[in-house]
Structure 1
């Protein structure tokens, strides 16, 4: 189900934005920081939790995701891709994930569900980088990658703006967090098992 397999398509769509960022004199690290700012803004919007803020939060999530693609493409276009930039990008991505999920959980006062979702998401990302650390390449596989998460959060935010009440006992955001809690840990274990098999 992962959208990460369409990175090559996304990279072609990014070219006008990368060119514009380069002409404006933006650095890849600067774009990464701006992307993180949109993630924090999304988290705050979700915490405020009324329909208008959910809709704005959804927009901020999509901007975070788009800029997260632009920063890497810009680094490659400028010929300054580096391990330091990659490290900064990964660290900000993890904090961005936390900011958005904590905001979603706080907005519906469901911290236990938020904790389960955050740990599932972080373990998915951790397995991706740890698999790379043992020499098997960066793992983007599994049921739900980061691109999928951002798409789901953005769409769910817009749905929550239209359907603010419970659906089968949980609000839309609650169902989203429950999904991330279950599927996040499942995806992490799926990545682990695939890597473990490759080590044999």
Structure 2
């Protein structure tokens, strides 16, 4: 179900952005670093937990996802794709995920939920790379992938900007998103583990 499967479709719209990045002298690694800066800015906006800043945070989350597509496309354009670049990209993606989720949790002061959400996200990502490490190829399957998380976090920012009242069991949209990441993240990790276990 993950939006990661739509990556080839999304990349078709990247050409003008990749061309612009190439013309101004950006490298894939520099785009990756910029994407981390954007993620940190998104987290800072979410910490403020003000309607305007929720909108800003949502926009920045979407920008982070777009930059994550651009760095790979730029590497192919410049013919500089490498294992080092792939490693940097994955490390930055993890830091970006954790930073944004941390910002969401801090903004609503739900640190326990934030911890559970972070562990779910980390285990999902870890299983994807660990499955690759044992020779089965990179795993993107499961209920929720990174693209899904970014879309949900961005949308949650917009929703929280206009509606901050509790929705379910006293939880607002941000808390519910953290619960979702905590539960679905671990389910997705188990899905990936179980599928890979059957292939070994």
TM-score, normalised to structure 1, is 0.98
Equivalence for 1:124: 124
Deviations 1:43-81 (A, max 9, x none): 111111010110000000000000000001100110000
Question: Which shows bigger deviation, 159-168 or 184-193?
Answer: 159-168
Deviations 1:87-139 (A, max 9, x none): 11111110101100111111111110000000000000000000000000000
The 5-angstrom pairing of residues 1-200 of structure 1 reads: 1-168=1-168, 169-199=170-200
Question: 1:164, CA displacement in angstroms?
Answer: 1.4
How many angstroms apart in 2 are the aligned matches of 1:189 and 1:179?
Answer: 15
Unmatched runs of 5 consecutive residues or more in structure 1: none
How many angstroms apart in 1 are the aligned matches of 2:165 and 2:64?
Answer: 27
Deviations 1:131-184 (A, max 9, x none): 000000000000000000000000011000000121121010000000000000
Question: 1:23, CA displacement in angstroms?
Answer: 1.1
Supply the RMSD in Å over aligned alpha carbons. Answer: 0.6
Question: 1:185, CA displacement in angstroms?
Answer: 0.3
The list of structure 1 runs, each at least 4 consecutive aligned residues, that deviate by more than 3 angstroms after superposition, is none
- 3-state DSSP class of the match of 1:136? coil
- 3-state DSSP class of the match of 1:109? coil
Deviations 1:15-60 (A, max 9, x none): 1111111111110011001111110011111111010110000000
Unmatched runs of 5 consecutive residues or more in structure 2: none
TM-score, normalised to structure 2, is 0.98
How many angstroms apart in 1 are the aligned matches of 2:32 and 2:11?
Answer: 16
The size of the alignment, in residue pairs, is 199
How many angstroms apart in 1 are the aligned matches of 2:195 and 2:14?
Answer: 31
How many angstroms apart in 2 are the aligned matches of 1:195 and 1:15?
Answer: 35
